[in-house]
A and B are shown apart, each in its own frame.
Chain A
């Protein structure tokens, strides 16, 4: 990861900013240039709900190099209250107690870093409520 790429995603990762289609109301996260539903191209910026529920999840036991020291950790597909879905880790939990349907809220956490001297990279995770 390099700085420009990280910086570009900041509004989404830090603030859960999404694009709401002015034509059909579909919310795209991250924002897109073309609405996947109605194919029009005009959007307004909205902030996603920070609350939602777990649709499905897994417990990563074998992680990629960047996350290998954090295993086991839970990754879930979460449906936020506004209907938008995203993939996020579920932090601070007993990995064996996570369930489909569990309610979560989104928090701000460090997601990864670029090694010892690189950037700290932040974003969203979920915690059970």
Chain B
């Protein structure tokens, strides 16, 4: 124990306006289809996504790798994921590290790869994420480990329940409507229908969402992201190296992360996610950008309410206006700021550890002009926001088209 009465624990770290290291690029991406992949194991899924990313990038080796996985242990009984994946990808003995930040594991893994390249320590790093959720584990229980096990989960709360409490508080405070929540699902299903890798490729109507089975009032089944298997991987290298490869690449202009209390009840606000606003502030500062400079964003819509709160806390909309924004089309493709063009977690699927990396992939596709039907015109800056738990951790990246 420290024996000083007052220690110097800052509220959060000093913000650097620019990262001192090298400029970093994403040069190749790969992902499996998201969904119930009955014939594929955790390692198969990761290897499939990673091989695609390596192939697309044109690199002949990787120096190191990071794997984002929330809970290999609870979902399939496998830990030591870094080593398993390096082995089966056939890249051992490269250093391989598993990164965990609950549902933000993928974003956190990408951030580690970013640091390793930016620092000059490595030239080519693979950042991947993977989850296998359909092998029979109690998924509700496993996901709930991202909340406070002793003071939230012990008392019977679930993840839909935590976000439902945020939803109810938001509806109470800002008059956000049940329909506005449903609009998020409708939009994301529409976007997902245009994404060949999405778990759900069928649009849903407002009425379907409003009448779906209640899971945790006021959230219904179609407000919730699904249980999914899936993997995603990207190759990260320096911009200088990317130029030599002569392949399409995008530049990482901000990487920020923040944390908050593990328990929702300990937060100052039940209707705002401080981890998002703090990380966003850092990211914008690092990139020298404002929210209005961002052309589209992939945000963590694990539940419809999350997208509404997050788009507010990212500064895209005034606090309390996120619901209206979803309703009036501001977040649709062609709107003021398209959100979750990939279909988001809601429709694309949410294999937890893969999600943060898949967000980077959607940005890459959009910024390199390869998003097909979902293409956002003239997109220069894309933002990804990946969140852990009920908002106890958040990872934000801003990518730039070159």
Q: How far is the CB of A81 from chain B (nearest CB, A)?
A: 15
Q: Interface extent on A, as a size class?
A: 35 or more
The distance in angstroms between the C-alpha atoms of A111 and B264, with both chains bound, is 20
Q: Which of A40, A62, A88, A100 contacts B158 (CB 8 A)?
A: A62
Q: Which of A9, A41, A123 contacts B7 (CB 8 A)?
A: A41
Q: How far is the CB of B227 from chain A (nearest CB, A)?
A: 12
Indicate whether A77 reaches chain B with its CB closer than 8 angstroms.
yes
> B154 to A123, Cβ gap below 8 A?
yes
Q: Which of B1, B9, B140 contacts A64 (CB 8 A)?
A: B140
The distance in angstroms between the C-alpha atoms of A58 and B150, with both chains bound, is 19
Given A62-B158, A87-B152, A42 contacting B9 (CB threshold 8 A): no
Indicate whether B210 reaches chain A with its CB closer than 8 angstroms.
no
Stretch at the interface among B159-167, B241-249, B361-369: B159-167
Q: Which residue of B lies closest to A96 (CB)?
A: B217
Indicate whether B287 reaches chain A with its CB closer than 8 angstroms.
no
> B168 to A56, Cβ gap below 8 A?
yes
Q: List chain B residues, Cβ under 8 A from A41.
A: 1-2, 5, 7
Q: Which residue of A lies closest to B165 (CB)?
A: A56
Q: How far is the CB of A93 from chain B (nearest CB, A)?
A: 13
> A65 to B140, Cβ gap below 8 A?
yes
Indicate whether B377 reaches chain A with its CB closer than 8 angstroms.
no
Residue positions of A touching B, CB distance < 8 A: 5, 9, 12-13, 23, 29-30, 33-34, 36, 38-42, 55-67, 70, 73, 75-78, 85-89, 100, 111-112, 121, 123, 125
- 18 more A-B residue pairs beyond the given contacts A64-B144, A77-B270, with a C-beta to C-beta distance below 8 A: A29-B151, A40-B6, A55-B270, A58-B160, A58-B165, A59-B216, A61-B216, A65-B138, A65-B140, A65-B141, A70-B156, A75-B157, A75-B165, A87-B157, A88-B155, A89-B156, A100-B172, A121-B154
